[in-house]
Structure 1
């Protein structure tokens, strides 16, 4: 019983770690895209 619970904990832990990595990657990508767009808009305004 406790072995199954431990395995489940490991699976959930690694899944959440992967989720965090994916979320961080998406956030970084969106942020870079936004910075590029606003930079281009600023250049167009100048």
Structure 2
């Protein structure tokens, strides 16, 4: 693929056999909850 990097993993039903390192990525993932009036800035290509 050309352009920005994308993940082909189905986040609702990840195939850990096809994407071997995705379980490792999930273990180090960070989550946040935005409340009313909160905003998040996502720089291009992030």
Shorter-chain TM range is: under 0.3
TM-score w.r.t. length of structure 1: 0.23
**Which structure would you say has the larger RCO, counting Cα contacts within 8 Å and 6 or more residues apart?**
2
TM-score scaled by length of structure 2 = 0.23
